[in-house]
Amino acid sequence: MVKATVKKLCKQYTDLSDQDIKILQEMASSLQTYADLSGSYMFIDCKLKLSNQAIVVAEAFPTGSTPLYNNSVVGRIVFESFEPGVFYSYRNGKKSIIQQAMTQEGIVVGQTVVPIKNRHHQVIGVLISEKQVKSLLPANDVKTFSIVTETAEDQVTGAGLSVVSDLLMEMLILTDSDDRLVYANPAGLQLISEMSGQDDVINRNVLDMLPFLQSVYEQEDDVFVFELTTQKKDLTVKKIRMREKNKSQETLLIIQDNTELRTKEKELMMKSVVIKEIHHRVKNNLQTVASLIRLQMRNNMPVESRAAFEETLNRIYSISSVYEIILRKEHADDDDVNIINLTRKICSTMVLNEYNLKVDLIIEPNGNKIITSSKKAVSIALIINELIQNSLKHAFQGKESGIIDVEFIVDQDFVELHVSDNGVGMKDPQTSLGTEIIHNLVTNDLNGEFLYIPREIGTHAVINFPVGAEVEIFDE
């Protein structure tokens, strides 16, 4: 029965594979043993597939213990607001210990959360151990409420808390068992007045004034989080229902207005769409220019001019590669480019296009991940293009094969790009359009240095440029 429930909930609410579900089923079948051995309440939670929430898929209570929960919580949604340890372990894959955590039934517990991982070391669920802890309040102050120690109205409107609640950006709305408003902080009063058009609101039914809260009050769970969109506002509503000896009392709503945040998100989304469209147009325009050049090359072009046009096509392709990499990213407004990936793309295409020459291409990132802005990436793309093009054009004359090695060496302050080959070499490097392009880009765009290192076999070029705001280094 336990295994069947785990499978059903995981299939319905998660993206877990059959193998992952089997791991959770095996753990769930031993959950009762863990609970009895430790004297703790045990749970298994899994992330929902379409949200940042989780769901309880299995539970076990110590045999013979006083019930910590009135009802089964299997199938209940878990919110990060109330159980941050669950989501910490999910994100970081580490154990989480919280000395005092408030459960979604308003019970103070000590909670330990351990991530459950599959054979690929991916977190597929969390194992939770809970024990009720004693309140920190003196014994004579502890009453029968599970969430508050006196009536909620007294608690919220007490001298100290009243000042705090008045300063909160969040809206606090407190209603009695008949859903009549008994307290609201200034932000809450402003919301009710704005949405209902009424000023005299105390002791009036909150659902008559704010009918969009109907679904909040109809939800049976004592603690729940809602995302509500009205005609005017986007709201996050946390509901906490107070109980005394299982008798329904006040309901506290903590409301956060996300309207301005959602508006900014929409603006950013529009900006992202515009930037993506610009990247598309630049890429398409480059492809159009390349197509025109190819058309010109087919139109009785002299053989001596063909090589220059092919070099121009390679330069256009190198720039276009930058925008192709950006457009593949999930967020088009993020125009950072992975230089290692860019280098692989440019070099492999150029080498594959050399039909009459077999070249072994070696790219050595040395465990580095180098991220630059799109502007720097265009400069680096053109530099790499010129260096590889020079090797393919001049290094292997009279040979059928060769080796080109591209290596990135990084220290804290500088990146070194080494491009070497085992070709015929250059005893006296001559100035050409390609070397002029490299010098100008390295000096003006990268604020770096370009030089050839003498060697007995082949050619060895080095580009050196500083790490900075637009050039960042990460360990791969």
pLDDT at 149: 37
Let me know if residue 88 belongs to a domain: yes
| Whether 96 and 159 share a structural domain | no
pLDDT at 298: 83
pLDDT at 167: 53
Give the tens place of pLDDT for each residue, 16-44.
Answer: 999 999 999 999 999 998 888 888 899 99
- Inter-helix orientation angle 18-29/2-13, to 10°: 150
| Whether 250 and 292 share a structural domain | no
| Whether 384 and 277 share a structural domain | no
Backbone phi, psi, residue 97, to 5°? -125, 125
pLDDT at 137: 40
Total number of residues shown for the chain: 476
Q: Are 319 and 326 in contact (CB under 8 A)?
A: no
| Whether 276 and 358 share a structural domain | no
194-198 contacts, C-beta under 8 A, 24 or more apart: 194/232, 195/230, 195/232, 195/233
Tell me: pLDDT of 183 over 80: yes
Q: Are 203 and 181 in contact (CB under 8 A)?
A: yes
Specify the range with the lowest mean pLDDT, choosing from 159-168, 203-212, 265-274, 422-431: 159-168
Give the tens place of pLDDT for each residue, 344-378.
Answer: 999 988 888 887 788 899 999 998 899 998 889 99
Give the residue, 41 or 232, on which the prediction is more confident: 41
Give the tens place of pLDDT for each residue, 85-131.
Answer: 888 888 888 888 877 666 655 667 788 899 999 888 889 999 999 88
- Kindly report the CATH number assigned to the domain that includes residue 161: 3.30.450.20
292, 314, 329 — which closes off a domain?
329
Q: Which of 415, 472, 406 is nearest to 447 (CA)?
A: 415
For residues 255-284, average pLDDT: 79
| Whether 406 and 362 share a structural domain | yes
Q: Residue 267: CB partners within 8 Å, gap ≥ 6?
A: none
pLDDT at 307: 82
Q: Are 124 and 15 in contact (CB under 8 A)?
A: no
Let me know if residue 138 belongs to a domain: no
| Whether 75 and 93 share a structural domain | yes
Specify the range with the lowest mean pLDDT, choosing from 151-155, 421-425, 451-455: 151-155
| Whether 319 and 346 share a structural domain | no
Q: For residue 299, count other CB atoms closer than 10 A to its CB.
A: 7
- Residue 249 is inside which H or E element, if any? strand 247-257
Per the prediction, the chain carries an average pLDDT of: 82
Tell me: pLDDT of 284 over 60: yes
50 pLDDT band, cuts 50/70/90, is confident
| Whether 269 and 169 share a structural domain | no
386 pLDDT band, cuts 50/70/90, is very high
Query: What's the domain count of the chain?
Result: 4
Tell me: pLDDT of 311 over 80: yes
pLDDT at 330: 64
What is the distance between the alpha carbons of residues 27 and 349, in angstroms, rounded to a whole number? 50
Tell me: pLDDT of 474 over 90: no
Q: Which amino acid is at 59?
A: E
Let me know if residue 245 belongs to a domain: yes
Q: Residue 285: CB partners within 8 Å, gap ≥ 6?
A: none
Q: From residue 38, how far is each of 108, 128, 333 by CA, in Å?
A: 18, 12, 51
| Whether 213 and 270 share a structural domain | no
pLDDT at 333: 55
pLDDT at 152: 52
For residues 379-388, average pLDDT: 92
For residues 168-182, average pLDDT: 85
Q: Which of 125, 129, 56 is nearest to 90 (CA)?
A: 125
Give the tens place of pLDDT for each residue, 160-174.
Answer: 444 455 555 688 888
71, 106, 132 — which closes off a domain?
132
Let me know if residue 137 belongs to a domain: no
3 state SS of 43: strand
Give the residue, 406 or 223, on which the prediction is more confident: 406
pLDDT at 128: 92
For residues 305-312, average pLDDT: 85
Q: From residue 152, how far is each of 144, 169, 244 by CA, in Å?
A: 12, 20, 11
198, 231, 257 — which closes off a domain?
257
pLDDT at 101: 65
- Kindly report the CATH number assigned to the domain that includes residue 435: 3.30.565.10
308 lies in which domain range? 261-329
| Whether 69 and 193 share a structural domain | no
Let me know if residue 141 belongs to a domain: no
Q: Which is it for the CA torsion 383, 385, 390, 395, positive or negative?
A: positive
| Whether 155 and 248 share a structural domain | yes
pLDDT at 248: 57
- Kindly report the CATH number assigned to the domain that includes residue 53: 3.30.450.280
Let me know if residue 142 belongs to a domain: no
Let me know if residue 140 belongs to a domain: no
Q: What is the pTM of this model?
A: 0.48
Let me know if residue 206 belongs to a domain: yes
Give the residue, 142 or 39, on which the prediction is more confident: 39
| Whether 375 and 289 share a structural domain | no
What is the distance between the alpha carbons of residues 296 and 329, in angstroms, rounded to a whole number? 34
